[in-house]
Amino acid sequence: MEDYDTEELRELAADSEKVSSLEERVKGWIKKLDEILKESEQIRRENDSSGPQDELEYWKKRAARFSQIVDQVKSSEVQNTILCLKMAYSKILKEWKETDKKITYCNNEAKDNAKFIQALESKCHSLYLDDPVNMKKSLLGLLQTVRLIHSVSQFYNTSERTSALMVKITNQMIETCKEYITCRGHDSIWSQDRESVKEKLDHCIALNRVYRRTYSVVKSQPFVPGQEPFNFSENYVFGKFDAFCRRLSKIISTFELIDDYSGLFKKRMEGLLLGDDLEEAIQRFEEIKLTVVNKPYDYLDQRNSEFDNDFKSFLALMEELKETIAETIEKTFDCVWETAQGIQFLTKFEKSNSISKISEKIPLARMDIKYDRILKHCDREVDRIIKMFKKQKDDPPIPQMFPPISGIVINNR
């Protein structure tokens, strides 16, 4: 039918059998197009790490697919078939028009969305290429572009689609943070220098804070009257990044607790834990470390509950260890506070408190009680010396080989 002219189509429209044949053909086209439309309307299957580049590729492929369909619909064969059925006043045309309208809408939507997401592509390069420190510089321009798309796009201006794009931006930021922390998958958090890893974790947490602040800034900027405000569920957009940062904070807490106790044991608890007690505490500490260190799972996967369980167990075991150490120290030094050496040991306790932070790690008894016991001991010593002085002041004992006057002076001193 590609080469039929108007007269030939009129003759064809007058033949009921041929019209029926054409109607069956159009029904087949409608069925096929409906299948394509239903497939396109299905919920997209995406993994949790899909980024904005995936969004662009999706709309590019969708635009290319519907563009091909539209070209086929506009072909001479299809157009002549539809024209012939119009001449025959076929009832199938109503259904065809509805399907054609849907195809045209999907094509325009895909092309328009691909065009606007394409404009976002250059702003997204930082998400893929920069580390979290440098990424912060590009966030304002990126979110302003997203807001522009939300305000101007004919099809992408719904909260659902724009917030989904924001989630993909969040996903990519998390993936880049993971690559940054693990040196693109070459190292684990345990195989790298501890201070270097902690610094990286802090950078990632700082990125989330800047991301939230930048969103608030862009959201508060004036927008075109009549346009839907740039405002989405913050839990939906930032929830995953917040969960990721909570995981990083737990890892930092684990590092700090291990490093603090390692430092205390390296200094042999400032001499407050001795002999077998010290060795047993060190051995127990090493056993507890194994509950959380160098496990086979992904520590940076915030959805992995294994680390959360191990972290909880690690904290509970460390709590037991520090209580055991505290009890041992208290028993060991319980009798020293009422002796002449009490002040010396008190100084050691205070030195531990200020330098090694032992008071934060080991729940020692209240220091004011120890002060009180030492002061009471000093009071007793002062009373004893005063009584002795009063008793001996009139007839002081004179050391051997000393003359009386010199002996009295020496005794008073």
pLDDT in tens, 284-298: 999 999 999 989 999
Question: Which of 212 and 369 is assigned the larger pLDDT?
Answer: 212
Nearest alpha-carbon partner for 405 in 396, 389, 390: 396
92 near 27, Cβ under 8 Å?
A: yes
Please give the Cα distance from 34 to 82 (Å, whole number).
17
* pLDDT over threshold 80, residue 29: yes
Tokens of 109: 């939507």
Q: How does residue 361 score in pLDDT terms, banded at 50, 70 and 90? A: low
Rounded CA-CA distance 216/233 in Å is 12
Q: Which is nearest to 293 in space by CA: 327, 255, 337, 345?
A: 255
Mean pLDDT, residues 84-112 taken together: 92
Residue pLDDT, tens place only, 32-79 = 999 999 988 877 777 778 899 999 999 999 999 999 999 999 998 888
Could you report how far apart the first and last alpha carbons of the chain are, in Å? 131
C-alpha dihedral (193, 198, 201, 202), degrees to nearest 10: -140
At 155, give phi and psi (nearest 5°). Answer: -115, -20
Q: Cβ–Cβ contacts within 10 Å for residue 401, how many?
A: 7
**What integer pLDDT is reported at residue 195 of this predicted model?**
93
- Cα 133 to Cα 95, 370, 411: the distances in Å are 56, 49, 73
Which amino acid belongs to residue 105? Y
Position 1 confidence tier, pLDDT thresholds 50, 70, 90: low
Kindly report the average pLDDT of the chain as a whole number.
Answer: 84
The model's pLDDT over 308-340, given as tens digits with 9 standing for 90+, comes to 999 999 999 998 998 888 788 777 766 666 666
> Span 248-264, mean pLDDT?
91
pLDDT the model gives residue 166: 93
Identify the band that residue 219 occupies on the pLDDT scale cut at 50, 70 and 90: confident
**Residue ranges per domain, the chain?**
1-120, 130-222+233-240
Integer angstrom CA distances of residue 259 from 17, 23, 35, 64, 187: 89, 79, 61, 56, 20
Say whether pTM exceeds 0.85: no
For residue 35, the model assigns a pLDDT of 92
Q: Supply the pLDDT for residue 406.
A: 67
Sign of the alpha-carbon dihedral angle for 330, 336, 342, 348: negative
- SS in 3 state form for the chain? CCCCCHHHHHHHHHCHHHHHHHHHHHHHHHHHHHHHHHHHHCCCCCCCCCCHHHHHHHHHHHHHHHHHHHHHHCCHHHHHHHHHHHHCCCCHHHHHHHHHHHHHHHHHHHHHHHHHHHHHHHHHHHHHHCCHHHHHHHHHHHHHHHHHHHHHCCCCCCHHHHHHHHHHHHHHHHHHHHHHHCCCCCCCCCCCCHHHHHHHHHHHHHHHHHHHHHHHHHHHCCCCCCCCCCCCCHHHHHHHHHHHHHHHHHHHHHHHHHHHHHHHHHCHHHHCCCHHHHHHHHHHHHHHHCCCCCCCCCCCCCCCHHHHHHHHHHHHHHHHHHHHHHHHHHHHCCCHHHCCCHHHHHHHHHHHHHHHCHHHHCCCCCHHHHHHHHHHHHHHHHHHHHHHHHHHCCCCCCCCCCCHHHHHHHHHC
Greater confidence, 105 or 407?
105
For residue range 159-207, what is the model confidence (pLDDT) as tens digits? 888 888 999 999 999 999 999 999 998 999 999 999 999 999 999 999 9
Give the model's confidence band at 126: pLDDT under 50 very low, under 70 low, under 90 confident, else very high. Answer: very high
pLDDT at residue 356, as a whole number: 47
Cβ count within 10 A of residue 323 = 12
Q: Of 285, 126, 116, nearest to 210 (Cα)?
A: 126
Q: What is the pLDDT of residue 132?
A: 95
What pLDDT is attached to residue 355? 41
Q: Which pLDDT value is given to residue 158? A: 82
Q: How far is CA 134 from CA 131, 198, 242, 276, in A?
A: 6, 18, 20, 51
Give the span between the Cα atoms of 346 and 164, in whole angstroms.
61
- Residue 28 phi/psi, 5-degree rounding, is -65, -40
pLDDT for 252 = 96
State the pLDDT confidence band at 354, using cuts at 50, 70 and 90. Answer: very low
- Cα separation, 155 vs 161, in Å, equals 9
Highest-confidence segment of 10-19, 39-48, 156-165, 241-250: 241-250
Q: pLDDT at position 365, please?
A: 58
